[in-house]
Amino acid sequence: MQRKPSRSFRSSTTATRVRGTQGYEEQAAELVERYEALGFADKHRALLDWIPATATDALDVGAGTGADAAWLAGRGHRVTAVEPTEALRNFGMARHATSAIRWIDDSLPALARVARPRRGFGLVMLTAVWMHLDAGERGVAMARLASLLADGGMLLMTIRHGPVPAGRIMFDVSAEETISLAASCGLDCVASTHGESIDARNRAAGVTWSRLAFRRRGAASLH
């Protein structure tokens, strides 16, 4: 049974165009269908064991249509969903309408509109986001993400490798680089896998994914 949230969430917006979102607004209709068709358990199977079992404040960066945020909210988590693409954000707010999800128009590397909960976020998720940032942005972003996490909080990340779709902006970034950068920001890698895409179209194109789990150093453990 879903736990009723203790506070009411609503959307906050800005009008900033984000470089890494290039192509997403234009392809939103197609992307909505694809994103909604992917089940959370299938998409994140390699990282499921690292999602906190007890309700916590969760941050979904690059939330897309909100399917992942809705899954987390359905398990009692208080979710902040960050999505800079207006068409995807508006769809998510309508399709997955719940007071347990607060929607924000914001983006990495700064996440300027995201406020840290008093004890920090117990869970931060980045699904197919990290490769949209260049090297300089990744350094700023990792430090910001680490600062938002609670002691013992989890950062779960999936990174896309392979051909870049037409009209998109992506950078080549390895799991090894990401693990090293995270370590410099106080985040320990507790899981790292690499495998093919579960999306048939991406799999046919040779797309693979790194799936990483990090825990922020500290006395508390939320896992």
Interval 186-204: pLDDT, tens: 999 999 999 988 877 878 8
> Does a structural domain hold residue 22?
no
Q: What angle do CA 206, 211, 215 make, to 5 degrees?
A: 165
Residue 195's domain comprises: 38-216
> Does a structural domain hold residue 24?
no
Q: Considering its fold, how many domains does the chain have in total?
A: 1
> Does a structural domain hold residue 194?
yes
> Does a structural domain hold residue 199?
yes
Interval 117-172: pLDDT, tens: 999 999 999 999 999 999 999 999 999 999 999 999 999 999 999 999 888 899 99
Q: pLDDT at residue 90 above 60? A: yes
Find, among 180, 174, 186, 82, the residue nearest to 127 by Cα. 82
CATH of the domain at 61: 3.40.50.150
> Does a structural domain hold residue 203?
yes
For residue 109, cis peptide bond before it (omega within 30 degrees of 0): yes
Interval 99-112: pLDDT, tens: 999 999 999 999 99
> Does a structural domain hold residue 5?
no
**Environment class of 34 (CB within 10 Å of its CB; exposed 0-12, middle 13-18, buried 19+):** middle
Q: What is the C-alpha to C-alpha distance for residues 70 and 116, in angstroms, rounded to an integer?
A: 20
